[in-house]
Amino acid sequence: MTTPALYDTQNSPFERMLRELPLQPLSVFFSDKASLEMAPVQFSEVLFHGDPLSADIQATFPVLSHQHRGILGSRKGTPVTGKNIAVFFSGGPAAGGHNVIVGLKDILGDHNRLYGVKAGPKGLLAGDLFEITDVSGIRNTGGFDFLGSDRTKITTSEQFEKVRHWVSHYKLDGIVVVGGDDSNTNAAFLAEKLSDLKCTVVGVPKTIDGDLQVWPWVPISFGFDTATRIYAELVGNILKDTPSSRKYWHFIKLMGRSASHIALEVALQTQPTMTLISEEIAARAHSLDIIVTDMAKGVLRRAMLGHAYGVVLVPEGVIEFIPDVAGLMGELNEIMGDSEAQALVVGARHAYVVGHLSADGKQAFLSLPEVIQTKLLMDRDSHGNLQVSQIPSELLFVESIAAKVHVIQTNPRAFFSDLSEKDLAALAKFLFTPLTHFFGYEGRCGAPSRFDAAYTYNLGLAAGSAVVQGLTGHMVGITDMATGGRAVALPLTGLIHAERRHGKTSYVIKKALVTLDSPAFQSFAAHRDAWALGDCFSSPGPRQYTGPLSQLMPLSVALNQGYASSVYHLGV
Amino acid sequence: MTTPALYDTQNSPFERMLRELPLQPLSVFFSDKASLEMAPVQFSEVLFHGDPLSADIQATFPVLSHQHRGILGSRKGTPVTGKNIAVFFSGGPAAGGHNVIVGLKDILGDHNRLYGVKAGPKGLLAGDLFEITDVSGIRNTGGFDFLGSDRTKITTSEQFEKVRHWVSHYKLDGIVVVGGDDSNTNAAFLAEKLSDLKCTVVGVPKTIDGDLQVWPWVPISFGFDTATRIYAELVGNILKDTPSSRKYWHFIKLMGRSASHIALEVALQTQPTMTLISEEIAARAHSLDIIVTDMAKGVLRRAMLGHAYGVVLVPEGVIEFIPDVAGLMGELNEIMGDSEAQALVVGARHAYVVGHLSADGKQAFLSLPEVIQTKLLMDRDSHGNLQVSQIPSELLFVESIAAKVHVIQTNPRAFFSDLSEKDLAALAKFLFTPLTHFFGYEGRCGAPSRFDAAYTYNLGLAAGSAVVQGLTGHMVGITDMATGGRAVALPLTGLIHAERRHGKTSYVIKKALVTLDSPAFQSFAAHRDAWALGDCFSSPGPRQYTGPLSQLMPLSVALNQGYASSVYHLGV
């Protein structure tokens, strides 16, 4: 049986619709509004409101640090021709990457050549480039599949020599690096090493984690909006499920590595019962037991109100922010990094580890649920470290809270004052029924939200402008997102600081974590007590591509930037 | 800090938009098209194209089986007044339940009384009813939270007496049961037991699993479309992720209990690398080893093409359909049902079980990955059975395929003929990196798709019509979904058959499983070889609420009903 008309290969009706949506370029990219001809903007210097570069940064980037160091606004540029520009993706996919390429292609036009580098930095080392001629098929689509990506770091002189070889081979005038904090750090070093070849390097801020932000110039990295909208729909659906089936506590781990931006944004959009923010946990220096006791009491307070259900958001990296657990993990990494320990079969590691831990470490280790103890004894990466993503932190909380709920139920008056007979009866009959989820990969390659589609297209236009202008070692951004948008380029050396990693100093872009005095966190903190007891759940629904609901930016961006609403306004 | 305008409690901008969408009632529900006044339809008898009722069904339903037994079409009815009707949800939530209530309220109008029963059948036993006066807040919204739901079965004479008490107390003329196959079975028994009280009982076909279908009259149960669209977006996103990051094999378990309708629909929408269909596995009677070998070879065939990635859809209940695993589980349930086995601590069960299994059972058990063996020894439910949802079938396949991939890599020529040197090199360097997912709860309480919203509103209008007309023991449906829609009511006794459950005969509605000669399965079977090797991934995107993409029905429904396209057309 054949089934024409119902579906076809690689072109769902949805993808066809996406490609036809308008791209919302900023007006500054039109050389002439009437003709709709595009031309690169010229970035012009503006006073930089940052600290002067330290001596070690100047020593690390001898060429870049002598460049103009302004926050750069934009004004009309003139068309440029004959340039060869390459672009590659680096690291995990994020929605909108394809539109960066569409923007580059549109701004470079037919009189410059755009190369795509296949499979990320690895492809650049291998000289695996092809000329990009037609971008109509990838317009507004999700994924990084047009080029592919990888996580190779270009750091050795041998690697830089390879890149220099291909830059000369392809006569490249510029390279656009689409990546997160590490990839943009890499872009700075690449810019430094290629400066004598007159090949510029420009970075584009990508990461669903949202931990690459430079207020107010780069309010957020691209991909964050789409990922959080996808997760927020699912969390909203599960929140709706709880008062429908009235029996489950859902523990939802959200991707985002160290930073809790994703958890915070999803919480603002959905108003769940509880949300852990790693940065707050670190700041308060509460032990796991204090956190778990608080959460178990929260669970039981709801039980007394007749709500035997709830939803808890857990940021992926939370474990590293709980002081006693972090301390334990540090000790474990040292003990397990030992070759003697590595040689042990997994079954023999428990006794070995308990014998080598400090008194505090031993207590912390043995107080953990068994399933977590086992996970902590697993094989390590090449640095002897355990990947945080391998630790099921959602399970850590489920198991610990289940145990604590039982303790409290056994002796409730030790934990709550003023319990009525009705409260006691409710506590006694409450059954804690937890379920766990992990939302991560499903948020990286969704079709970009209209916000991410417009943002990335303009980032592509800005990156193309910067690279042909001869700017190097800069990262582009779009600011003023509620009022038409403004293209900027930031010197990467201004974002890089010294950090101790594995016992030596590295120069890296500082990760933007959630700050507790930020408007987004403050807003969350002001509302969460109400969310904990009432059923204030909000359902943000699936991303819409037409109508007013399609023109929204992340709530945390709107709050942190001080915009009056979360409606974005980019372009003409 | 206060943040007005950005969000408010329980009313996201999305939910406000939803409530204003049109409801798409069929024209038959308008007493007069010009005035937009609604009136119940009159169901009129049409010849029933089924088998005559068997003697045992007639004996089980002495009253119902003497009723008219027609498939019932519809014509205009006259307004009815003064009736008291109650409605309750039964079982797991499904998108659109609220619109059933909106439809009931609209068709009953102001001259009849509609009661909501809180928290499902349990609330009916407790007489926990309230009068529904305003449904504007729940219009087009997801979840069952307006009433709540539960899974209590009303089967004992004591329970029926309680219901009879409340029927008299509230002077109920009719009860509408919104539920799946078991709940509609229950509705038939309730109709039988309440017939002397002149209280009618009408069922509404709900279940995301899609296993309540009566072609062509009830093409699908409500909630299936929304759930599969939610899962299909996520699967589409993950499919897009694979050629972007180029290193993962994702194994995605999809909710759906026994039937594979959900997996089949999601496969048709997304075109993944591999999809297991439980009903096909059972029909072919292949062993786990044959299935796993096939899948491992599929994984390695892609590795030879340079595709070290893919996506596998695994229906929730698949394990029960693999003959040797099902046989093993039957044996295990008998062995573990023994009180001696139940008394053992979990650690001691392995040796006990191995000692009591048949030779075949022992071989099957010991060939399973350790993590699965452990799961199979867990505590049982009150019938001594293991809940199939507790078995991580996605892990069973991941672990088994990983082992088999290793076996094939060690000696590839034993499994593939005509391997080139390039193939051998690709096989040798391939690293199988699996990730697992389970999509379930996030699909039950999403906002209903436009299809489910229109379908359920019309089901509510039809159920309200049937119940005031005095029809009892019927389930309503909407057919002709591509051509305006037609309301029908089916006698439940015609759907009920005898089934052996736990050693005794039960009378239940037969679950509609995927049939291998259905157009939907045939279409899948015709395409899957191409999907297995090429990257034919299709991204259906998130549900849209406006525009042409909002007017789609499930592909499997369109195929099975023989419609020319998957565009639905319901209402005026």
Q: How far is CA B560 from CA A17, A267, B515, B522, in A?
A: 26, 41, 10, 10
pLDDT tens readout for residues B543-572: 999 999 999 999 999 999 999 999 999 997
Mean per-residue pLDDT, B157-173:
98
Q: ipTM value of the model?
A: 0.95
A309 has a pLDDT exceeding 90? yes
Q: What angle do CA A518, A550, A31 make, to 5 degrees?
A: 90
* Position B4 confidence tier, pLDDT thresholds 50, 70, 90: very low
Chain A residues close to B233, C-beta within 8 Å: 230, 446, 542
Q: Which helix (H) or strand (E) holds B203?
A: strand B200-205
Q: Which residues contact B53 (CB under 8 A, 6 or more apart)?
A: B65, B69, B493, B494
CB B240 to CB A564 under 8 A? no
Q: How far does A434 lie from chain B, in Å, by closest CA?
A: 13
What is the chain A residue with the closest CA to B539? A12
Task: Point out the residues of A that are catalytic.
Answer: 209
A211 has a pLDDT exceeding 90? yes
CB A442 to CB B445 under 8 A? no
Mean per-residue pLDDT, A77-101:
95
CB B544 to CB A545 under 8 A? yes
CB A3 to CB B241 under 8 A? no
Q: What is the pLDDT of residue B8?
A: 46
Enter the tokens of residue A543.
Answer: 């991303």
Q: What is the pLDDT of residue A340?
A: 80
Mean per-residue pLDDT, A481-506:
89
Chain A residues close to B548, C-beta within 8 Å: 13, 17
Q: What is the pLDDT of residue A78?
A: 79
- Please give the single-letter amino acid code of residue A361: G
B9 has a pLDDT exceeding 50? no
Q: Are B237 and B286 in contact (CB under 8 A)?
A: no
Q: Where are the beta strands (DSSP E) in B112-190?
A: 113-117, 129-131, 149-150, 174-179
SS (H, E, C) B481-541: CCCECEEEEEEHHHCEEEEEECCEEEEEECCCCCCCCCHHHHHHHHHHHHHHHCCCCCCCC
Q: What is the pLDDT of residue A7?
A: 42
What is the chain B residue with the closest CA to A6? B565
Pick one of 3.40.50.450, 3.40.50.300, 3.90.1150.10, 3.40.50.150 as the CATH number of A13-223+448-510+548-561.
Answer: 3.40.50.450
CB A536 to CB B11 under 8 A? no
Pick one of 1.10.287.610, 3.40.50.450, 3.30.930.10, 1.20.120.430 as the CATH number of B13-221+448-510.
Answer: 3.40.50.450
CA distance linking residue B263 with residue B232, whole number of Å: 9
| Cα-Cα end-to-end distance for chain A | 49
CB A233 to CB B542 under 8 A? yes
CB A444 to CB B237 under 8 A? yes
> Among positive and negative, which fits the CA dihedral A542, B92, B24, B555?
positive
Q: Given B144, B246, B541, which is nearest A447 (Cβ)? A: B541
A491-505, B47-61, B176-190, B364-378 — which one is most confidently predicted on average?
B176-190
Test the A interface: residue of B14, B231, B523 with most A CBs within 10 Å: B14
Q: Which helix (H) or strand (E) holds A475?
A: strand A474-479
Q: How far does B547 lie from chain A, in Å, by closest CA?
A: 8
A8 has a pLDDT exceeding 60? no
Mean per-residue pLDDT, A201-212:
97
* Position A67 confidence tier, pLDDT thresholds 50, 70, 90: confident
A13-223+448-510+548-561 and A225-443, same CATH topology: yes
Mean per-residue pLDDT, B190-205:
96
B305 has a pLDDT exceeding 60? yes
| Of the candidates B394, B449, B446, B397, the residue with the CA atom closest to the CA atom of residue B254 | B394
* Position A287 confidence tier, pLDDT thresholds 50, 70, 90: very high
Domain ranges (residues) in chain A: 13-223+448-510+548-561, 225-443
Chain B residues close to A93, C-beta within 8 Å: 240-241, 244-245
A420 has a pLDDT exceeding 70? yes
Q: What share of chain A has pLDDT > 90, as a percent?
A: 76
Mean per-residue pLDDT, B223-246:
96
Q: For A218, which DSSP code?
A: B
Q: What is the pLDDT of residue B375?
A: 82
CB B523 to CB A3 under 8 A? yes
Q: How far does A566 lie from chain B, in Å, by closest CA?
A: 6
Chain A residues close to B11, C-beta within 8 Å: 538
A333 has a pLDDT exceeding 90? no
CB B142 to CB A237 under 8 A? yes
Test the B interface: residue of A14, A253, A556, A560 with most B CBs within 10 Å: A14
pLDDT tens readout for residues B435-492: 999 999 999 999 999 999 999 999 999 999 999 988 999 999 999 999 999 999 999 9
Q: Given A6, A9, A142, which is nearest B565 (Cβ)? A: A6
Q: Are B460 and B104 in contact (CB under 8 A)?
A: yes
Chain A residues close to B530, C-beta within 8 Å: 9
pLDDT tens readout for residues B237-293: 999 999 999 899 999 999 998 999 999 999 999 999 999 999 999 999 999 999 999
Task: Give B410 or A36, the one with higher predicted confidence.
Answer: B410
Q: Given B92, B241, B442, which is nearest A93 (Cβ)? A: B241
pLDDT tens readout for residues B341-360: 778 877 788 899 999 999 99
Among the listed ranges A19-33, A101-115, A267-281, A285-299, which one has the minimum average pLDDT value? A19-33
Chain B residues close to A395, C-beta within 8 Å: none
* Position A3 confidence tier, pLDDT thresholds 50, 70, 90: very low
Helix/strand/coil for B354: helix
Chain B residues close to A227, C-beta within 8 Å: none
Task: Point out the residues of B that are catalytic.
Answer: 209
Q: How far does B9 lie from chain A, in Å, by closest CA?
A: 6
Q: Are B298 and B308 in contact (CB under 8 A)?
A: no
Q: What is the pLDDT of residue A132?
A: 97
What is the chain B residue with the closest CA to A10? B538
Q: Given A437, A540, A558, which is nearest B14 (Cβ)? A: A540
Residue with tokens 């007309």: B469
Chain B residues close to A518, C-beta within 8 Å: none
Q: How far is CA B39 from CA A178, B108, B199, in A?
A: 60, 8, 21
CB pairs under 8 A between A and B: 251
Long-range contacts of A361-366 (CB under 8 A, 24+ apart): A361/A327, A361/A328, A361/A331, A361/A332, A364/A288, A364/A324, A364/A325, A364/A327, A364/A328, A365/A328, A365/A332
CA distance linking residue A18 with residue A141, whole number of Å: 7
Q: Give the residues across from B484 on adjacent strands.
A: B570
Cis peptide before B491 (omega within 30 of 0): no
B498 has a pLDDT exceeding 70? yes
Q: What is the pLDDT of residue B392?
A: 84
Enter the tokens of residue A147.
Answer: 């080029």
Q: What is the pLDDT of residue A69?
A: 59
Task: Give B312 or A36, the one with higher predicted confidence.
Answer: B312
Q: Where are the alpha helices (DSSP H) in A338-369?
A: 339-343, 346-356, 359-367
* Position B7 confidence tier, pLDDT thresholds 50, 70, 90: very low
* Position B500 confidence tier, pLDDT thresholds 50, 70, 90: confident
Chain B residues close to A149, C-beta within 8 Å: 244-246
CB A10 to CB B538 under 8 A? yes
pLDDT tens readout for residues A427-437: 999 999 999 99
Q: Are B211 and B513 in contact (CB under 8 A)?
A: yes
Q: How far does B45 lie from chain A, in Å, by closest CA?
A: 35
B336 has a pLDDT exceeding 90? no
Cis peptide before B22 (omega within 30 of 0): no
What is the chain A residue with the closest CA to B441? A238
CB B549 to CB A13 under 8 A? yes
pLDDT tens readout for residues B374-406: 888 876 665 566 766 677 889 999 999 999 999
Enter the tokens of residue A293.
Answer: 């006791």
Q: What is the pLDDT of residue B76?
A: 74
Q: What share of chain A has pLDDT > 70, as a percent?
A: 93
Chain B residues close to A238, C-beta within 8 Å: 441-442, 445
pLDDT tens readout for residues B533-543: 988 889 999 99
Q: Given B6, B234, B534, which is nearest A558 (Cβ)? A: B6
Q: Are B37 and B31 in contact (CB under 8 A)?
A: yes
Q: Give the residues across from A86 on adjacent strands.
A: A115, A175
Chain B residues close to A268, C-beta within 8 Å: 6-7
What rounded mean pLDDT belongs to chain A?
91
Q: Which helix (H) or strand (E) holds B319?
A: none
Helix/strand/coil for B385: coil
Q: Given A145, A234, A549, which is nearest B17 (Cβ)? A: A549
Q: Given B245, B442, B555, which is nearest A237 (Cβ)? A: B442
On whether the A225-443 domain is CATH 3.40.50.460, my answer is yes
What rounded mean pLDDT belongs to chain B?
91
CB A14 to CB B549 under 8 A? yes
Q: How far does B555 lie from chain A, in Å, by closest CA?
A: 7
Among the listed ranges A329-333, A549-553, B273-277, B279-283, which one has the minimum average pLDDT value? A329-333
What is the chain B residue with the closest CA to A558? B6
Q: For A447, which DSSP code?
A: P
SS (H, E, C) A426-446: HHHHCCCCEEEEEECHHHCCC
Q: What is the pLDDT of residue A71?
A: 66
SS (H, E, C) A144-161: CCCCCEECCCCCCHHHHH
Test the B interface: residue of A244, A250, A527 with most B CBs within 10 Å: A244
> From the CB of residue B356, how many other CB atoms can be counted at a distance below 10 Å?
17
Q: How far does A234 lie from chain B, in Å, by closest CA?
A: 5
CB B12 to CB A238 under 8 A? no
Q: Are B223 and B96 in contact (CB under 8 A)?
A: yes
Q: What is the pLDDT of residue B6?
A: 42
Q: Given B150, B234, B536, which is nearest A10 (Cβ)? A: B536
CA distance linking residue B476 with residue B532, whole number of Å: 40
Among the listed ranges A116-120, A171-175, B45-49, B288-292, which one has the minimum average pLDDT value? B45-49
* Position A4 confidence tier, pLDDT thresholds 50, 70, 90: very low
pLDDT tens readout for residues B12-54: 889 999 999 999 999 999 877 666 788 899 888 665 556 678 8
CA distance linking residue A262 with residue A556, whole number of Å: 10
CA distance linking residue A542 with residue B446, whole number of Å: 9
| Of the candidates A523, A536, A529, the residue with the CA atom closest to the CA atom of residue A298 | A529
Q: How far does B346 lie from chain A, in Å, by closest CA?
A: 15
Q: How far does B448 lie from chain A, in Å, by closest CA?
A: 10
CB B447 to CB A522 under 8 A? no
Q: What is the pLDDT of residue A5?
A: 39
Chain B residues close to A516, C-beta within 8 Å: none
Helix/strand/coil for A5: coil
CA distance linking residue B1 with residue B568, whole number of Å: 47
Give the up-direction half-sphere exposure of residue A481: CA atoms within 13 A in the CB hemisphere. 36
